[in-house]
Structure 1
Amino acid sequence: MKYIIINLFLLFLTCASCLGQTKTLDDYLQQAVKNSPLLKDLNNQILSAQLDSVRIKAGFRPQVTASSAGMYAPVIRRYGYASAITNGQTLNGLVTVSKAFIGKDYLNAQFAGLGLQRDSLRNSIKLSEQDLRRTIIGQYITAYGSLQQQRFNQEIVDLLSKEENLLKRLTRSNVYRQSDYLTFLVTLKQAQLQLSQTRLQYKTDYATLNYLSGVADTAIFEITKPELQKTINTTERNASIFFKQYQLDSIRLINSRKLIDYSYRPKLSVFADGGYNSDLTAQYYKNFGTSIGFSVSMPLYDGGQRKLLYKKLSLEQETQRNYKAFFNNQYTQQINQLNQQISEYDKLIAEINEQFKYSESLIKVDTQLLQTGDLKIADLILAVNNYLTIKNLLTQNIISRLQLINQLNYWSR
């Protein structure tokens, strides 16, 4: 029996610790970044681009290949391939060493292209992290708003339940009529239904938060208030991750033009081989040897393809400038609009808080008058409904303001 009591006590402590556990916004942000497959994919693409750079270097080193071939062309009853062409039979086995010579500037241009690709991927990681943070913070704020609604409705239910016991005694003492008590009881039941609804809504929003963060946990915990402050962007606009890609695209187009120019320059390659190459006729055992050679190629006329490639790059540059100019206008408008909306919400929340004080004071006065029987039940219900409306309005506006700050902070990096 003693062990059963101890186990029950430990179980009670475990449950109490689970109910008292809270999670913060940073917990979810860290989990979301850690679990994101997109961020892992982009990081792997950066590693792959680094391997491409090493592969290009290896491609311009001496290349060694081994090859072997044999051929036999029989002549049967004077029918067969001409021996002067086929030699009847051949056998060779060679080891060839070859190397292409290119200008250092061309090699640097290729490395620059890969470097720009890596920089673009790094910027994509920052953009993806920023998108992920905005999504997680937005859902966290939504879940916190549902939690606040649940807490507030629980407060209303507790208040009405406490007054219900008092009203029941006063009704039995004929201070209030039975109809007054029933009217109050209907209000209490409605508050209890709203509480159940807000609990369900918080569970739904909390589960969505776990889903977006990649957290496989069905337990429900309370979350702390998101401490969001407006981030003042002091960096230059061109240094922003949202404008960085336009800068990288511009450099990439310049580098692409260089690569086109280099592709029309002369190319030199040399080779050397050694091994066995014979037609297996007289003194075939002496057909071991070696050879060296080179090749030079230079484009003379390509039908005007070079000019067409230049024109394509010019069109791409013009498109890139148009997109950048349009996004710059949108960016400015978005920042100004968000700052203006946040300022308006600050004023509105201050007004609601002022009105909320009066509504809260009225509830306290009404509960005191109820104890002496000097209050109409209809007045108490009206005061509770007004209090509920103002509190819900305050919560909604606070949540909306936090969402706007989240949007503003998104553009500040």
Structure 2
Amino acid sequence: MKYIVSFILCVLLYGSSSAQNRSLDYYLNQSLSNSPLLKDLNNQVLSAQLDSLRLKAGLKPQVNLNGGGLYAPVIRGYGYSQAITNGQSIDGLLSVNKTFVGKSYLNAQYYALQLQRDSLGNIIHLSEQDLKKNIIAQYITAYGDLQQYNFNKEVVELLGKEEDLLKKLTRSNVYRQSDYLTFLVTLQQQQLQLAQSRLQYKNDFALLNYLAGIRDTTFAQLTEPAITKAVLPSVANSIFFKQYKLDSLRLNNGRKLVDYSYRPKLNIFADGGYNSDLTYHAYKNFGASAGFSLIVPIYDGGVRKLLYKKLNLEEQSRQTYKAFFYNQYHQQIDQYSQQITENEKLIVQINDQIRYVESLIKVDTELMQTGDLKISDLILAINNYLTVKNTLTQTVISRLQLINQFNYYNR
């Protein structure tokens, strides 16, 4: 009796708390919206845009106001040399400085920043794919738990009807008391399995909310995930290979930046203001000056060649990683496709077997009404039904998980 009461309470609690349904799209949208990693990466993209503006601003004339003073006393013949310090000085100058950079060098610097933004954008896409895959995987797991719970609930309801019939037949001496008790034990075991499956669903449902960044302890039912096998883009358009292209462009641009860094550099400057040692006609020491500086690289001790070697080593690593990932990519795609096909064939076979088992249970039920059935045969048929249905649920969930793994590369 206590098992039956527990079961009724379980069903009532479940029914009262599952008024709302939630879909896979809801969790995907919530997870993308709540992810701190995606927000951080988007902020890094904005920061890289500011770097371009900062580079452009740094090439404009730089204006500074500089001021200073000096007093070096000579006491009883002790002190700094007046020929060096002039004893005292004061200055206040407004200076303007501009560095001239070649247009090609400037474009290469801008391009380096653009590649940095593109790399961050690609990382954002990859992070979104990782997050979606994890959310979908957990959603499928929780949905599978829900299906298992619903199936256990169906079995308990079926056994409950059979138990009522068997009880009447036992009272009519059609079946023995031991047969009834054996069947009752089977019913109680399924009631316990029902409670355990509900607890498993609650745990995986809570984990789904946790991964999506949802603070919610309410209980809800998950709708069937609308997941179908996607048509993958070509390797040339896949975000999983885009980073290798960006790295190649970055290395080529890096060689240009090395070459540009060895070109002559010109800088001009000008200032105006007051600069005096306060010794003679200090009021006339207002003036201005202008000048330039030119740097022409001649010999660097072989640094340029070493920088080229470093870039060549990075290119070799890039090609090695790309070739290795290319093989892994196609190996996984082929493996997932094969496993999905095998699961679909297995599901068809399992459904055929379920129809046979259901027909057997129906026949056994009719035989039980006339007392021409062994209870052990009915229990065996029910156990077979449980096994086959559990196999179907696991296979369906496995297929959905494989499709999720396959669709991970669909971008």
What TM-score comes out, normalization by structure 1 length? 0.95
Partner of 2:213: 214
Task: Tell me the residue number matched to 1:79.
Answer: 78
Task: Specify the alignment match of 2:271 in structure 1.
Answer: 273
5+ long unaligned stretches in structure 2 = 1-13
In structure 2, how many angstroms separate the alpha carbons of the residues matched to 1:66 and 1:238? Answer: 54
Distance 2:366 2:295 in 1: 101
For 2:241, the equivalent position in structure 1 comes to 243
Q: Distance in 2 between matches of 1:73 and 1:376?
A: 118
Question: 1:379 & 1:401 partners in 2: Cα distance?
Answer: 33
- In the alignment, the residues of structure 1 paired with residue 367 and residue 143 of structure 2 have an alpha-carbon distance, to the nearest angstrom, of 35
Indicate the SS of the match to 2:67: strand
Deviations 1:195-236, CA, capped at 9 Å, x for gaps: 011001000110110010001101110001111110012x33
Counterpart Cα distance in 2 of 1:53 and 1:288: 39
Write the distance in 1 (CA, Å) between the matches of 2:315 and 2:270: 45
Aligned counterpart, 1:378: 376
In the TM superposition, what is the alpha-carbon distance from 1:361 to its structure 2 partner? Answer: 1.1
The match for 2:358 is 360
TM-superposed deviation, 1:18: 5.2
The residue number in structure 1 matching 2:204 is 205
Which residue matches 2:386?
388
Structure 1 residues 118 and 17, CA, compared in 2 at 3 Å: closer, same or farther?
farther
The C-alpha deviation readout for 1:234-265, integer Å capped at 9, x for no partner, is: x3312100000000000000000000000000
Q: Look up the match of 1:397.
A: 395
1:196 and 1:16 map into 2 onto residues whose CA distance is 14
Question: Which structure 2 residues correspond to residues 108-123 of structure 1 after superposition, within 5 A?
Answer: 108-123=107-122
Say what the alpha-carbon RMSD is for the aligned residues: 1.1
| Residue range with higher mean Cα deviation, 316-325 or 161-170 | 161-170
Q: Which residue of 2 aligns with 1:340?
A: 338
1:6-405 pair list within 5 angstroms: 19-233=18-232, 235-405=233-403
CA distance in 2, matches of 1:195, 1:294: 86
For 1:369 and 1:216, the matched residues in 2 are separated by 53
CA distance in 2, matches of 1:18, 1:109: 61
Give the TM-score normalised by the residue count of structure 2. Answer: 0.95
The 1:20–1:372 alpha-carbon spacing in structure 2 relative to 1, beyond 3 Å, is farther
The letter of the residue matching 1:156 is V
Which runs of structure 1 show a deviation greater than 6 angstroms over 4 or more consecutive aligned residues? none
The Cα shift of 1:16 comes to: 7.3
- Residues of 2 paired with 1:104 and 1:369: CA distance? 94
2:7 corresponding residue in structure 1: none
How far apart in 1 are the matches of 2:365 and 2:16? 35
How far off its partner does 1:370 sit?
Answer: 2.0
Query: How many angstroms apart in 2 are the aligned matches of 1:190 and 1:89?
Result: 101
AA paired with 2:253?
N
Q: Structure 1 unaligned runs (5+)?
A: 1-14
Q: Aligned to 1:20, what secondary structure does the other structure show? A: coil
| Whole-Å separation in 2 of the counterparts to 1:259 and 1:55 | 18
User: 2:280 corresponds to which letter in structure 1?
Assistant: A
Give the superposition deviation at 1:17: 7.9
CA distance in 1, matches of 2:268, 2:386: 87
SS at match of 2:252: helix
CA distance in 2, matches of 1:102, 1:353: 74
Percent identity over paired residues: 67
The count of corresponding residues between Structure 1 and Structure 2 is 398
Once residues 367 and 28 of structure 1 are traced to their aligned partners in structure 2, the CA distance between those partners, rounded to angstroms, is 43
- Work out the CA distance in 1 between the residues paired with 2:298 and 2:369: 105
Supply the distance in 2 between the matched residues of 1:346 and 1:33 (Cα, whole angstroms): 31
Q: Report the residue type matching 1:157 in the other structure.
A: V
1:372 CA drift (Å): 2.5
- Counterparts of 1:18 and 1:97, CA distance in 2: 73
Give, in whole Å, the separation in 1 of the partners of 2:16 and 2:376: 42
Kindly state the Cα deviation for residue 162 of structure 1 after the two structures are TM-superposed: 1.4
